[in-house]
Amino acid sequence: MNIIRALRLEKGWSQEDLAAASGISVRTIQRLENGGRASLETLKCLAAVFESELSELRENMQMNTTAGNVMPGSCLSEEDRAALNFANQLRRYAELEDGRDPQEENIRRQVRSERAFLIHIAFFIIANALLLGINLITTPQKIWAIWPLLGWGLGLFLHGLRAYSRHSRFLGEEWERRRVEERLKRLAEQKRTE
């Protein structure tokens, strides 16, 4: 009889009871009772719950480890494997984020902004052409399509300024930085005179 199952039955627990007491999934307990291998962490949890020696459980489970790491094909359940994969992907993503160059990030942001502006232009042209067509078909004597064209055109103009003025002299990042510095100097002078 499997040692995990024997110890569980000795306590009078179901697999669900053992899972709740140890923090190990029921699925993992089922796999272990069917002869699967256990990780060191799993064995530690089980040894604590059963109040037995880790070495005794380890011998009985015939665990294969190298330097505390679980060997490939060991007792990891599908849930554990999925969680481990997810953690590895998060770690890789964090490493990529940490290694980014701030100038490269600024360039990417600028290109995204320009792309959004170009998409805005395309929608502006298509929508206003449709509105003008509808206007000319339904009421050719009164041109009402000029109002959405002017309103949306103003929004498009402002979007273009925002998209392309970051690196220009007029209202760009440099202008913004100078304005902030000027106002901070004035604020500092006011505090000194008070």
Residues 101-156 pLDDT 10s = 666 777 788 888 889 999 999 999 999 999 999 999 999 999 999 999 999 999 99
Is 118 found in the same domain as 38?
no
Task: List the domain range (segments joined by +) for residue 14.
Answer: 3-97
Is 110 found in the same domain as 33?
no
Global pTM value: 0.39
What is the C-alpha to C-alpha distance for residues 157 and 191, in angstroms, rounded to an integer? 40
Instruction: Give the number of other Cβ atoms within 10 Å of residue 127's Cβ.
Output: 13
- Are the CB atoms for 16 and 26 separated by under 8 Å? yes
Per-residue pLDDT band for 100 (boundaries 50, 70, 90) equals low
The residue assigned the tokens 């997810």 is 86
The gap from C-alpha 157 to its chain's centroid, in whole angstroms, comes to 34
What is the C-alpha to C-alpha distance for residues 46 and 55, in angstroms, rounded to an integer? 12
Q: Residue 83: give its domain's CATH number.
A: 1.10.260.40
Last residue of a domain, one of 97, 115, 137: 97
Is 44 found in the same domain as 12?
yes
The per-residue pLDDT of the chain, averaged, comes to 78
Per-residue pLDDT band for 191 (boundaries 50, 70, 90) equals confident
Is 127 found in the same domain as 76?
no
User: Structurally, how many domains does the chain consist of?
Assistant: 2
Percent of the chain with pLDDT over 90: 22
Core vs surface per residue 16-46: b (16+ CB within 10 A) or e: eebbebbebbeebbebbbeebbbbeebbebb
Is 176 found in the same domain as 115?
yes
